[in-house]
Structure 1
């Protein structure tokens, strides 16, 4: 059972390679359209097992259909330690390049693709960077797995709710984003749906990740609902996490509601008059 997932992925890989060889007998193939390993991959140009894993998750989460929409919004009520951390509406382009958060206290955070603005000018900017980029990354994680700079290592299955899930470790090339020292350990089920991810937060560590490495956390995705044929987790749970034990004590939770696709961004990400630019 421990190697069941790897066996399944290997069989899938062999099937994909055989189909590709058959297609090459009758049609020409543009090799640039399919990512392959530098050494030609397994089976002379076949996808690596890691790429098969990533693409299986993207397919299960309907990445192509998701990206056909311009933007998406959702309400998020996030609690940590029994206290409300964030309650508001989050709007983002599906490619994550612009973000807006409208909090219930009437303050706003806007990322226009280049700069971050806080509105009104006297609003509390503590934790602005965390709120701006963390929740949208967790929401959009299934669609970010093959972003430039991502590196993958398939790992052994791990138990989650007494059921083994295939896991893989995601790291980043140097210079990727503003926290390239972050890492994730993803859990996917037999349908290739992302069920959880362990992670560290290294932002602000100035290269010393020892504190972050000593305190990994994990997000658990639950209560999936179909919106326009795409599965979204409507409940998130946050836990401590260790390599040996997996998830430990529960730290917080989030409820995600009113998930809505938008086909035009309009003026949503424009900067209000009473806003100030903040440095994150």
Structure 2
């Protein structure tokens, strides 16, 4: 009887012990909160592509486009593009290019151009963006819901650029992108270019494109495809940050000044 009493006291004492550090850390971890500036319709699109919360956990994105490789630090948007003809980088302060025979103006315009197209729709979730639901639109025989994206002054190299994401009314998946180009002129425009997003694959829970196709567009009607589709290969999305040395400007590289050339 005495042994049973001691056993009962021991069990009670163990049950009353405080939670372990691991349990306490899990319980005290803050719940994810979506950025407050995201609209409900944009959140629906994000969810169809894996969710902004999941996207936010990644630190590195790399892919191959033709002979050009790109690696981006998703947390600070440093980037490096390398091809047989040139290497372009952004070190967090300056866009640089090597060799010194390269058109530095175009390098500034180009350095994150395809990253923005590739990382749609998540890239428009950045701070400083505004969202407006627009009237549904028929494109190539199908009607889509749309979200217009605009930016605060001082956001990026071309804050007057606008995007319109057209997404499937049922699934929420993005299928078309309209965008304006203001880098060269510096002036707002209502002439939109048009990209079709049709080939998607999942990478670590995130749905990203494997190809995009430009189309002729007159403001109302979708025309013929413009050239060949742009293909993305060797796609890697990682929670590990890329090596910072990739983005350091090498000796002899040129700094690409803002608005010295463009599209």
* Structure 2 runs not aligned, ≥5 long: 1-30, 259-263
The CA distance in 1 between the partners of 2:205 and 2:41, in whole Å, is 21
2:151–2:161 Cα contact (<8 Å) kept? yes
2:147–2:165 Cα contact (<8 Å) kept? yes
Match of 1:248 among 220, 223, 234: 223
Moved more, 143-152 or 111-120: 143-152
* Greater C-alpha Rg: 2
Match of 1:227 among 199, 203, 221: 203
The CA distance in 1 between the partners of 2:75 and 2:103, in whole Å, is 28
The CA distance in 2 between the partners of 1:55 and 1:237, in whole Å, is 25
Cα 1:264/1:180, change in 2 over 3 Å: closer
Aligned position for 1:97? 77
Q: CA deviation at 1:132?
A: 0.5
Q: CA deviation at 1:33?
A: 7.0
2:105–2:257 Cα contact (<8 Å) kept? no
SS of equivalent residue, structure 2 residue 248: coil
Match of 2:161 among 168, 173, 182: 182
Aligned position for 1:51? 39
Within 5 Å, give how 1:1-280 maps onto structure 2. 35=36, 51-62=39-50, 63-77=52-66, 87-95=67-75, 97-105=77-85, 107-125=86-104, 127-189=106-168, 190-207=170-187, 209=188, 212-213=189-190, 215-245=191-221, 247-252=222-227, 253-262=229-238, 263-266=240-243, 267-280=245-258
* Structure 1 runs not aligned, ≥5 long: 1-29, 37-49, 78-86
The TM-score normalised by the length of structure 1 is 0.71
2:105–2:256 Cα contact (<8 Å) kept? no
Aligned position for 1:27? none
Equivalent pairs counted in the alignment come to 222
Cα 1:58/1:33, change in 2 over 3 Å: closer
Q: CA deviation at 1:74?
A: 0.3
Cα 1:192/1:98, change in 2 over 3 Å: same
The CA distance in 1 between the partners of 2:219 and 2:131, in whole Å, is 17
| Offset from partner CA, 1:72-129 (integer Å, 9 cap, x none) | 100113xxxxxxxxx4001111246201100133x20000111011122333435212
SS of equivalent residue, structure 1 residue 145: helix
The CA distance in 2 between the partners of 1:177 and 1:124, in whole Å, is 20
Q: CA deviation at 1:137?
A: 0.9
1:182–1:200 Cα contact (<8 Å) kept? yes
